[in-house]
Amino acid sequence: MTTAGDIMHRGAQWIPAHETLDRAAQLMRELNVGALPISDENERLCGILTDRDIVIGCVAMGHDPARVTAGEMAHGTPRWIESGADVGDVLREMQDHQIRRLPVIENKRLVGMISEADLAQHLTEDQIADFAHSVYARSTTS
């Protein structure tokens, strides 16, 4: 059985909710990633911050990334998966919630992230096609 821990990218790091978006962007550059899990003061997941969030939700709105915090950008219910979960559970979680990155937790600690690139390296072509269709398909209802 292939697990979340088998396909994740190790070394994921939190961005504390109180950190500013300019610091988050610097950390993304240092780590060469496009997303960071946001943690509260107890290192619990409270959201995910993406490079797109910084650009669209802050800069394009005319806000100063040195004055907006990661926590202010955390919206909705954060999704995550246990490291021992089956890859089928990973796919369902990402497809059901139309998300492209999924934090991996082990013993209540962040141990990695699963991205589309990680999936592409470990799934069959049919699984990748199903994933892409479910995550990128636009709703036909308005």
Give the residue, 123 or 87, on which the prediction is more confident. 87
Check pLDDT > 60 for residue 105. yes
Number of domains making up the chain: 1
Confidence of residue 138 (pLDDT cuts 50, 70, 90): low
Is residue 61 one of the residues assigned to a domain?
yes
115: β partners:
101
Is residue 34 one of the residues assigned to a domain?
yes
Strands 15-16 and 81-82: what pairing? Answer: unpaired
Look up residue 6 and give its two tokens: 């088998």
Domain with 120 in it: 4-136
Instruction: Check residue 120 and give its pLDDT.
Output: 85
pLDDT tens digits, 42-64 = 888 999 999 999 999 999 999 99
Q: How many CA atoms lie within 13 A of 12 on its CB side?
A: 27
Q: What is the CATH number of the domain that holds 58?
A: 3.10.580.10
Look up residue 119 and give its two tokens: 């999936």
Is residue 141 one of the residues assigned to a domain?
no
pLDDT tens digits, 21-34 = 999 999 999 999 99
Percent of the chain with pLDDT over 90: 57
Is residue 9 one of the residues assigned to a domain?
yes
Is residue 142 one of the residues assigned to a domain?
no
Q: What sign results for the dihedral spanned by CA atoms 6, 11, 16, 19?
A: negative
Nearest alpha-carbon partner for 49 in 32, 35, 67, 28: 35
Instruction: Check residue 139 and give its pLDDT.
Output: 44
